[in-house]
Structure formats: C-alpha cells, structure tokens
Amino acid sequence: MMSKKFILFSILLLVGICSSIFSNVSAMTEAEKQALIAQITAEIARLQAEINEKIASGQGGVQNSSSWCHTFDISMKYGDSGVEVSALQKALQLQGFFSLTDSEKIGSFFGKNTTSAVISFQEKYKSEILTPIGLSKGTGTVASFTRAKLNKLYGCSNVTPPVLTNLTCNPNWQCSSWKSCLNGQQTRSCFDYNSCNANISRPSEVQACSSNTNLNANTNPNTNVDLNPDYIIDLILPPSIMPISNTNIVCNSNWQCESWGGCINGQKTRSCIDYN
C-alpha cells in the first residue's frame, strides 16, 4: 500500500512540476526549452528507476519468493501434469531456470523444458541433491533429495530432509561361457543385473588356456552350451527364466533352433530357445 502511494505521489509531483514550468514556456528561449526537456527526461528516468526498485524488492504489490510457499510431497517426472507440476514450475521460475510464459506452464505439463530446468536446479545444488547418492549429473526427475531442497527453499513448513542411511548394493553377476582359446587366452562377458555400478566381486573375464582346453569349461550354471563337432554357440538365460533349484520339479526341455547361418572364419552360428 505504501508503495502504491509512493508511485502515485511521484506521478502527481512530476505532473505538477511540468504544469508549472510549461505555463511559462512561451517566454523561454529555444536553449532554455531544450534544457527543460532534458531536465524533465532525467526526472522521469529517476522516478522510473525508483519505481522499478520498489517492484523488484516486492514492495510494489508483485509477489516475490518470500511470499510464496509450497510443500513438495510427491515425486514428479517427465509426462506428469497438474497442480504439483505447476508449483514446481513456479519454484524453477523463481530460481531463474523456467519462464512462466512457457507453453508447458499453460497446461502445467512436465515436458522437456521443465526437465531441463530441473536438471539445472539439481546441478546448482549438486552437493545437497546429487553428491549424497553418488551422482554428478542431474536426472530431471524430482525425487526425495530434490524435493527436500525445494522444501528447504519454498516449503510452507519445516520439512525433515531424507536421511541417507547405509545404502548397499549387492551385485548379481551373470557370465557367459568361456570363448574358444585364442592366443593362449579365453574370454567371457559378465553383467551385473543389479547395476551396482561398481566392480564389487566382479568375476574374471579373462583366463589363460591351451589349445586343448575344454571348450565347455563354464562356471556359470545358467549358461547353456550346444556342442557340435563343427560349431559352437552359447546362450545366456535371462533372470526371468533361470531354472528353479528344486529337485522335486522335472522340466522337459523344448529346444527350438534357427537354421545355421553362413560360414564366417570357419564357423557357423545359430540361436536356440527352450520354450519350456
């Protein structure tokens, strides 16, 4: 209210000054008129600067970050929409990462522009959002640590941030069978199905061999090897169809194989699937 009075007073004061001056303008020389115009222009610029300063500081009736709050209590991702997304976009706009004139704001839609803004927000506060969970790049998904930072900045009440306990990831390594002996070495590929992103207990993928090494040497019981006098092919069973360890269950295999492919470097290959 005080700011509105200040703006109104400034305008009336300027009008009064101009009216008083222009009442005698006919008696002025051309040089005096030009000087007067320059003086009035400078006064207008000064008043405009003061008005802008008042508005920017939140005293001109425009809502600023200190007068807006929202508690973020659900996670959000690309494709979401609604009130929560609208609040997220407001917070991102206050951070300077999102424009309220963006087309996604009109429909409160979590699209690529909102995703990009979230990534910028996460990387700005990397030490609080990304580092605690071992990340260096923003994900664009609003999960617990991102919400905790949003609530710390704009929450309507004190929100307890998530506590990072002893997080452990147990790898689930699955390996293919050993390849044929080549130049005194055999190789195989191993994959961690739990995606722990670490080499914890990673099985060896290279071993020494000789030309008479048993081609069926395989430490992974979930790998099926089809031995043929002329051709060799191996198949890694995905976790969803790994055999169940139960001696009371009998499973009769139903292998279906494709035709042998063309001969390349003295070998032919084909794929086989057990439909049981």
* Sequence spans of domains, the chain: 2-56, 65-154
Q: Give CA torsion, residues 129, 132, 135, 136, to 10 deg.
A: 70
- Residue 84 is predicted with a pLDDT of 96
Determine contact, residues 268/231, Cβ cutoff 8 Å: yes
Predicted local confidence at residue 21, as pLDDT: 56
The per-residue pLDDT string of the chain (276 residues; one tens digit each, 9 = 90 and over) reads 445 555 555 565 555 555 555 556 667 788 888 888 877 887 786 676 566 555 444 444 334 455 899 999 999 999 999 999 999 999 999 999 999 888 998 889 999 999 999 999 999 999 999 999 999 999 999 999 999 999 999 999 754 555 555 667 788 888 999 999 999 999 998 888 777 766 778 888 999 998 665 544 454 545 444 444 444 444 455 555 555 555 566 778 888 888 888 888 888 888 888 887
What is the reported pLDDT for 239? 56
Per-residue confidence (pLDDT) for residue 237, from 0 to 100? 52
Q: Which of 47, 53, 9 is nearest to 39 (CA)?
A: 47
Tokens of 65: 């970050």
Q: Given this model, what pLDDT does residue 231 score? A: 44
Residues 249, 251, 252: CA angle, nearest 5 degrees = 150
Give the DSSP per-residue string, 185-239.
EEE--EEETT--SS-TTPPP-EEE--TT--TT--S-TTEEEEE-SS-EEEEEPPG
In sequence order, the β-bridge partners of residue 224 are: 235
Q: What local confidence, expressed as pLDDT, does residue 212 receive? A: 62
Coil, strand or helix: which one is 171? coil
Query: Which pLDDT value is given to residue 271?
Result: 83
Please, what is the Cα angle at 211 between 259 and 206, to 5 degrees?
85
User: Quick one: fold of 65-154?
Assistant: Muramoyl-pentapeptide Carboxypeptidase; domain 1 (1.10.101)
Q: Could you tell me which residues come within 8 angstroms of residue 205 by beta carbon, excluding any fewer than 6 positions away? A: 175, 187, 188, 189, 190
How far apart, in whole angstroms, are the C-alpha atoms of residue 115 and residue 107? 15
Cβ atoms of 159 and 144 closer than 8 Å? no
> Radius of gyration (Cα) for the chain, nearest Å?
36
According to the model, what pLDDT value does residue 153 have? 96
